[in-house]
Structures are given as structure tokens and as C-alpha cells.
Structure 1
Amino acid sequence: MKNKSDLSVAIVGGGIGGAAAAVALHSKGIKANIYEQASDIRELGAGIGMRPPTVHFFKDWGIYEEIVQKSSISGYMAVLTAHGEVLVKEEWPVLTDNPKEDWARLIHRADLIETFFNQVPTENVHLKHRCKKVIEHEECVEIQFENGNRIEADLLIAADGIRSVVRQQIFSDVKPIYSGMHAYRTVLPEKEAFNLAPDDTFRVFVAESGSHVYLMPLPHRNQVSYDITVHSEDKSWKPVVSIEEILEHLQEFNPMFQKMADLAESFTCRAIYDIDPIDRWTSGRIALLGDAAHAMLHHRGQGANMAIQDGGVLAEAVMKADTIQEALKIYESLRKPINHEYQKLSRLTPNNKRGTAFPEKEILKF
């Protein structure tokens, strides 16, 4: 392998996973260029809960203090009925060797992606670059873009999402699978949450029909992240949903949820898809990362965590190994088993009959 500082790394996709990989590599002195199909960098959606194994990487990358300023700690997760009766309230499971790390750090997705891109030099971010074709040569990877540009790199990291062009061309033609559910997401001022999220607890309200509402407090912003997940036969990636339809879905819930929806300026509406596990993530000089490798449903809240951790482990493997091929073998061996388990777990929807907020405790043996 070349000197690590001389390696040319191309990252296709500028979402959370791709940006995290770029930050991880830059923190180790490895040049990484991001190629993003969009015309600007912005992250819609709402809040996410970052777990200690993820946050540990932020300390290594020198962004921990900035993350702390843009996030808050949650000690508990609760599952409630649609009208607010608490069924179970639990501390977050410990995922590290430190028994005191039973928490999640809550952050808005936009703040997280902004923090990552604050660390990546502007000249290393290339917008309007949609990947068209990938050719793996013995000494490099060739990437062709729809805008006519073409580059070569020593290593290609494919973080191009659930409909990954790189995965389809090189690894697997596995198709995204529709979950039968939509997610409608927004962020509201705390005062417009009607005291339904009064503390640092992450709450999931579950209706008998299987619809559910997530309320994630973002006190550092004086806001609450509001996620409504419901059944739908509409498989459109970005369904057009009226406020009247959203209000109809909320009839099973505490009437305050309808008032909250009425107050929202807008909702981000998405159909929820995942993929089945695939046999391999890496080839000589190409690695899949994040949703491109292991897209999962949002019910366990681990998709972003897994993508960030992928980036951290991959950067460490590149530093440790003598060849890119060896680095990618290390990366896949460390990341594939845990992601495979979380892919399965993510299909367990919140349930008002289950006696735990964290079914993963039984499977992963925390």
C-alpha cells in the first residue's frame, strides 16, 4: 500500500455515513473526496439517538465538544399506549464495557451532518456527481458520473444509500423491500408538544392498530422531534400526504397529537424500506457502507449509528492494514455480524404487548 497520506479515497454519497467516513479518514491524515449527487448538502428529517459506541468515535475525530453543544443526554426510553399510559420505561442498554454508559445522546440530523461537513475541506466535496458506472482495475477503481466526469481512486467507499448504484453493479441486485409503513416527520417547539415530552425520556406511543408516534426531546434546541409511523399501501418513495390524511391516522391517539400535527409547518414524508442481508460488502478496492450495505428500518434507531461506526472502523482498518484488500477484509469481518443482527431487529416494530423497550437485549445478550 502507498503511504497512508498519499492514498486517494473516493466516497460516493454525502449522507451521514459518507460524511462520517470522510471525517474519520481526514482525522487520520488520509485524503477523502466526497461525491454527492445532490446540488447542496442538507439533512431533512428529525432527531436521532446516538449511542456510546458512536460517540466514542467523535472523541477520536476531535468533534466531541461540538457534538455535545448540539445535543442532549437521554437516560430512558418508554413505551406507552396511544393515550399515554406507561407500559414500560427502561434505561438505555449498555453497549460498551462501561456500565455507566446507559444513555443516548439526542441530536437533530441537520446538526450532525453540519458538524461532519465542518471537518471536511470544501475542495473535497463535489456536488452534482451522480455515480453512473464503476470499474474495478487491479491498481485503482474508476468511477464515472452522469455529468461526464471521471475519476480514479485507490479506494472507493460506496455510501450511496439503499438504492446504491455501486451495490447493484458490483455486489448484489437485491431490491429494497417495502415495510408497508410510512413515516411522517417534523420538529416542533417544546411549547407545541403540550407537555407530552416533559423530560429527557424518548417516548414511543403505540396504538392497537400498530401505528406509533415517536417523541424525541431536543432540549438544547427547545424543540421536540415528532415522528408518526403508520401503515400504508402507497409504496412511493416520497409519498404526497395531506395534513388531513395525517390527522386521520392520529384519531387513535391522544387528541393533543392532532393539535401538534396541525401546528407543524410541514412534514417530511417517506415510505419505509430496507434490504435483506447481502453476502459480501467488499471487493478488492471497493467497500459498501451504511444503507448501501445494510439498510434497516428505523424502529430500533440504529441505522445512523451503524453507518457512523462503519466509517470509524473502516478508517481504523485502513491505518492498521498493509494493503487495501487486507483493510477491507478487517472492516467487513468486524462490521457485518453486528449489522446483520440489527437488520433483523429493526423489523421488530414497537409493540404494546412486549415487556421491554429493547427486544435487542434478549438477542444481543447485553
Structure 2
Amino acid sequence: MQPSELKNLKIAVVGAGYGGAAAAKALSLLGADVTVYEQANRIREVGAGIGLRPATMNRFREWGVFDAIARVSSPSEYFEILSATGEPMLKETWPAAGAQVHTHLIHRGDFIEALLGVLPEGMVRLGHRLESVLDDGDGATLTFANGETVGADLVVGADGIRSVVRRELFSDKEPVFSGEHAYRAVISVDDAHGMVTDDNLRMYIGRGTKVYLLPLRHRGQVSFDITALCPDGTWTPQVTKDDLVATVEGFDERLVNITRNLDMDTVNIRAVYDIDPVGTWHSDSVVLVGDAAHSMLHHQGQGANSAIEDAGALADALRQADSLKEGLALFQATRKPETDKLQAISRQGWTEDEIDDVFPGQKPAAAATQE
């Protein structure tokens, strides 16, 4: 599209998470008129740490926001996979991409705060919960719970795994339970029993359980994550300290002690869901990005990275194409084969025997796809 066409483009982004904030930044750099609508009255990202891959960091460099992200993250050289009791199984350097050779480890809260901090004041409008979206072909109209109605040339649905935009226009399939729970906390490095001495991610694998230690040493902290098989698909299940300790039975005693010492009020507990691949991500005036388009399980650590890549690819496609319609088609053609692959790989988390132990005679939908 011509620069003059891009500057006349009115874009409404639904959702101020990773994908929405990144899309807003990338699209605003094209000169478009961008507004982000977020349902929350204040931004508060829960959870723990994530790794930003080199390709993601290169996007931030391209957008001129690399320093803002680097200030609140730690560069990491490699990741390591170990047995439950600490025997080395795999050690690999992080893949490199172009000028940026490091993966950066960052707290989710710091990440979203840094992303939103590089957007122009007033671009993000809080307290806007989307109720419906009407696509008339030449544009789209959003209706929010507060009664406000907004029209746009392009709507970017970045509203997460339970996306209203996806459900209204592209797919009414419900999220799929993986058969897992994720328990996430951030603790002091001093409480890690000497297990964190550098800036590299380590994952300990036992029967039915994975434990992640992701250093956040720039904060003097470590992200402590447990992923465990569990048949309870309640979105926010009720879990006790004893339940958590039982998941790490047989692990390195230091990991068991970390678990025993967790303050349950600080542990983020959730059942783990993804979605099946969505056949079409776009119309002529609406497009999905991030979890709204391709929510995936966290085993490959690619959810946030894929959302950032979506934002960059969408801006690239609009710049390269002759029209908005062609740009959205190019975006999907560029990104969907990659995210379809990542969704499938991310579901390959457990062996059949381990699944049968927890789900005798029945398997959750995501686990069943691994066979």
C-alpha cells in the first residue's frame, strides 16, 4: 500500500496484550491512525517469566524499542533439560537470528509494561470490553459493553484465547483442554537453594511433571513453573500446597523444598488450554493475531514470540501489498503455516503411558492428537 493510503487507514486493535501492543506499535510506524481497546480497567499481567527469542528481539530493534525491552530483561546463552533428579539430558545454545544473538528472559509484567510504555499517550483506551463486531466488507464496527460504538477500516483481533472477534467472525470452536495444569510463581534467587547461578533456563522432567527455572537475575528473582498432568479442566482450579508438592515427588530435593516453601497466595494456578488451528484468520477488514489466531501450549515457549512476529509480519504485508485485502491475505499466507506447525509441536508434551496414568481409558482432546 502507498504511504498515503496507510496514513489514511483507521485501525482499531482489540486487546492490549503482547500481540495487541506489538501490533499497535508496528502499525503506527506505518503512519496509520491506531487505537487500542482493552477490556481491563488497568493493565496487570500475572504469571511469571518468558523467553524472548532472537527474532523477536530483532523486531524490537527494527521498531526502535530494543533498549526499552533490554533494560528489564537478562540475556541468556543456552537452555538445559535435565532429569527430575538433575542428570543432564540436553544442553543447547539458543538459536541466533541476524544481529541479535541472545534470547532475553523477562517477567511478563515487565514485558507488557515496556511494550505499552513505547506507545503514544492516549493510544490505549481501557475499560472497553468488546461485545460484538460487525464486518460490512469495507470496514467493521465494534460495539463495547460501555455502550460505545467504533468504526474502523481495519480491526485487529488481539483479544486472546477466548477471542470475541474470532468467535463472532471466524470460528465458534471452544478452547481445548490439554490435560495439564500450570503453577507459576516468582521467588527470590536467595530462595532457590543455590539452583540459579547464571542466566540460563533449565527444565527438569519427571513422570507427568516438568519444572522450569527461568532466571530473572536483573530483578534478583527466578520464575519457578510447574507443569503437571491433571484431569481437572476448570479454568482456575482449586489446588492446595500438598497437591503441588505431590507433583514434584521424586524430583531433586531442592526443587521439592522450593515447592514446599511457596506462598500459595503468590502462585498463579490455571488449567492449560490452546485452540485447534483456525482455517481463516481474516476477512477484507478484520484480522486475527496472537492467541486469538493460534493460541498454543507453552511447551515450546513460543506464544508471546509468535504474537510479536504476527505484529511485524502484518505491518510488512500491508506495506508490501497493493491493497488492504491483499495485505491481509499475504499476512495469513506468511504466518499461518509457521504457527500451525508450532501449535502441533507444542502439543507433543507427554508420552502415551504418562497420559494413560492420569486419564485411564480417556484422554483430553489435545493429548489425543499426539498419537
Deviation at 1:248, TM superposition (A): 2.1
Question: What is the aligned partner in structure 1 of residue 83 from structure 2?
Answer: 81
Tell me how far apart the structure 2 counterparts of residues 138 and 276 of structure 1 sit (CA, whole Å): 26
SS at match of 1:167: helix
Q: Which amino acid aligns with 2:7?
A: S
Question: What is the aligned partner in structure 2 of residue 271 from structure 1?
Answer: 271
Matched, 1:259 2:257: yes
Tell me how far apart the structure 1 counterparts of residues 260 and 26 of structure 2 sit (CA, whole Å): 41
Matched, 1:316 2:337: no
Q: Which amino acid aligns with 2:201?
A: F
Question: What is the aligned partner in structure 1 of residue 93 from structure 2?
Answer: 91
SS at match of 2:223: strand
Tell me how far apart the structure 2 counterparts of residues 347 and 138 of structure 1 sit (CA, whole Å): 35
Tell me how far apart the structure 2 counterparts of residues 121 and 243 of structure 1 sit (CA, whole Å): 43
Deviation at 1:242, TM superposition (A): 2.0
Decide whether the 8 Å contact of 2:138 with 2:284 is kept in 1.
no
SS at match of 1:283: coil
Normalised by the length of structure 1, the TM-score is 0.91
Decide whether the 8 Å contact of 1:91 with 1:103 is kept in 2.
no
Question: What is the aligned partner in structure 1 of residue 364 from structure 2?
Answer: none
Question: What is the aligned partner in structure 2 of residue 362 from structure 1?
Answer: none
Decide whether the 8 Å contact of 1:212 with 1:350 is kept in 2.
no
Decide whether the 8 Å contact of 1:10 with 1:153 is kept in 2.
yes
Question: What is the aligned partner in structure 2 of residue 196 from structure 1?
Answer: 195
Question: What is the aligned partner in structure 1 of residue 285 from structure 2?
Answer: 285
Decide whether the 8 Å contact of 1:43 with 1:113 is kept in 2.
yes
Q: Deviations over 1:263-285 (max 9, x none)?
A: 33310111101111121111110
Q: Which amino acid aligns with 2:308?
A: I
Deviation at 1:339, TM superposition (A): 0.6
5 Å-filtered alignment, 1:111-126, equals: 111-126=110-125
Deviation at 1:145, TM superposition (A): 1.1
Decide whether the 8 Å contact of 1:299 with 1:350 is kept in 2.
no
Tell me how far apart the structure 1 counterparts of residues 250 and 120 of structure 2 sit (CA, whole Å): 49
5 Å-filtered alignment, 1:162-173, equals: 162-173=161-172
Q: Which amino acid aligns with 2:49?
A: G
Decide whether the 8 Å contact of 2:54 with 2:95 is kept in 1.
no
Tell me how far apart the structure 1 counterparts of residues 244 and 212 of structure 2 sit (CA, whole Å): 14
Tell me how far apart the structure 2 counterparts of residues 76 and 137 of structure 1 sit (CA, whole Å): 49
Question: What is the aligned partner in structure 1 of residue 158 from structure 2?
Answer: 159
Deviation at 1:102, TM superposition (A): 5.7
Q: Which amino acid aligns with 1:193?
A: A
Decide whether the 8 Å contact of 1:204 with 1:350 is kept in 2.
no
Tell me how far apart the structure 2 counterparts of residues 282 and 56 of structure 1 sit (CA, whole Å): 26
Matched, 1:40 2:38: no
Tell me how far apart the structure 1 counterparts of residues 185 and 16 of structure 2 sit (CA, whole Å): 22
Q: Deviations over 1:301-324 (max 9, x none)?
A: 001000011011111222232321
Question: What is the aligned partner in structure 1 of residue 221 from structure 2?
Answer: 223
Q: Which amino acid aligns with 1:46?
A: A
SS at match of 1:67: helix
Tell me how far apart the structure 2 counterparts of residues 176 and 138 of structure 1 sit (CA, whole Å): 27
Deviation at 1:144, TM superposition (A): 0.8
Tell me how far apart the structure 1 counterparts of residues 79 and 194 of structure 2 sit (CA, whole Å): 16
Q: Deviations over 1:6-36 (max 9, x none)?
A: 2111111111111111111223322211111
Decide whether the 8 Å contact of 2:137 with 2:283 is kept in 1.
no
Tell me how far apart the structure 1 counterparts of residues 110 and 116 of structure 2 sit (CA, whole Å): 10
Q: Deviations over 1:156-189 (max 9, x none)?
A: 0001111111111111112211000000001111
Matched, 1:347 2:347: yes
Question: What is the aligned partner in structure 2 of residue 354 from structure 1?
Answer: none
Question: What is the aligned partner in structure 1 of residue 338 from structure 2?
Answer: 338
Decide whether the 8 Å contact of 1:214 with 1:227 is kept in 2.
yes
Q: Which runs of 5+ in 1 are unaligned?
A: 352-366
Question: What is the aligned partner in structure 2 of residue 10 from structure 1?
Answer: 12
Deviates more, 1:292-301 or 1:259-268: 259-268
SS at match of 2:248: helix
Deviation at 1:249, TM superposition (A): 1.6
SS at match of 1:186: strand
SS at match of 2:258: helix
Question: What is the aligned partner in structure 1 of residue 366 from structure 2?
Answer: none
Q: Deviations over 1:33-79 (max 9, x none)?
A: 11111121111111111111111110111111121111112111111
Number of equivalent positions: 348
Tell me how far apart the structure 2 counterparts of residues 87 and 43 of structure 1 sit (CA, whole Å): 33
Deviation at 1:93, TM superposition (A): 3.1
Question: What is the aligned partner in structure 2 of residue 23 from structure 1?
Answer: 25
Q: Deviations over 1:133-155 (max 9, x none)?
A: 11111332111112211100010
Q: Which amino acid aligns with 1:55?
A: M
Deviation at 1:259, TM superposition (A): 2.4
SS at match of 1:112: helix
C-alpha RMSD of matched pairs (Å): 1.8
Question: Structure 1 segments of 4 or more deviating over 3 A?
Answer: 100-103, 262-265
Decide whether the 8 Å contact of 1:187 with 1:264 is kept in 2.
no
SS at match of 1:44: coil
Q: Which amino acid aligns with 1:285?
A: S
Question: What is the aligned partner in structure 2 of residue 248 from structure 1?
Answer: 246
